[in-house]
Amino acid sequence: MLTFTRFMLTPVLILFTCLLLTDLAAKEWQFVKGERSASDLEQDINRKGQQVLELVDLKPGMVVADILGGGGYYSELIARKVAPYGRVYLHNNQAYLPHVGKEVAARLKDNRLENVIRHDKETEDLAFIDQSLDMIFFVLGYHDLYHVDKNWKIDKDDFIRQLKTALKPGGYLLIIDHSAPDGSGTEYSQDLHRIDKAYVINELKRKGFKLIKQSDLLVNDKDSREISPFHPDIRRRTDRFILLFQK
């Protein structure tokens, strides 16, 4: 009788699991309306966003911050992964908004991404609750911690402290940036918007982060690493490093 019951229950459990997954998928699309834009799909070719997300352990329900996230390319990808109950903070500051504000507004128009929260805050006060984030994405912005002009000044040590404080114990920090020549440190950060991978690793280790993974997914050996990422010969095709740290 027990054997009979076990075999009878198996199809029921399978059916229940299928219904649960279907319900979760439906809830995801309630939070993320419509297909991704043509621009995002074009960027996939060189940014490889889907593959980048496979490198990190994103789960439904996670709370993630996309720091200096620009137009929100990664925010939308993350939103689909953490839905239906997770959320994403798309962060920019006033220096970024003149360049990306229209794109952000279009992406979030009509509450299209219900689980993405627009988070316009200055770098001296990111205004995250302590230990509230499961993961932080910081993509193509780390070098800006060393870029200085009259409209852009960051206390890098305090900024990194804020990121660390906002992460939950065991939380993750993903860094992607344009590679500078080996051993150059921050020499190329001011004018060429690049930074040496080893410098980033050593600095974040000193700040108490543990490097747990790195990837060559975005490596481009044809990039000399000595010209601006905005140069037409290399734009959107720079040699980039990917580093995943844990608090």
Listed range (43-57, 112-126, 143-157, 175-189) with the worst mean pLDDT: 143-157
CB atoms within 10 A of CB 13: 9
Residue 90's beta-bridge partner residues? Answer: 66, 118
Block residue for tokens 């800006």: 144
pLDDT for the residue numbered 153:
82
Above 60 in pLDDT, residue 24? no
Give the C-alpha separation, 100 to 164, whole Å. Answer: 26
Mean pLDDT computed over 4-24 = 44
Q: Which of 102, 95, 107, 238 is nearest to 177 (CA)?
A: 238
What are the residue boundaries of the structural domains of the chain, listed by start? 32-246
Tens digit of pLDDT for each residue in 133-179?
Answer: 999 999 999 999 999 888 788 999 999 999 999 999 999 999 999 99
Q: Which CATH code for domain 32-246? A: 3.40.50.150
Residue pair 246/172 in contact (Cβ under 8 Å)? The answer is: yes
The model carries a pTM of: 0.87
More confident residue, 151 or 91: 91
Give the C-alpha separation, 157 to 167, whole Å. Answer: 16
Give the C-alpha separation, 85 to 96, whole Å. Answer: 28
Above 50 in pLDDT, residue 29? no
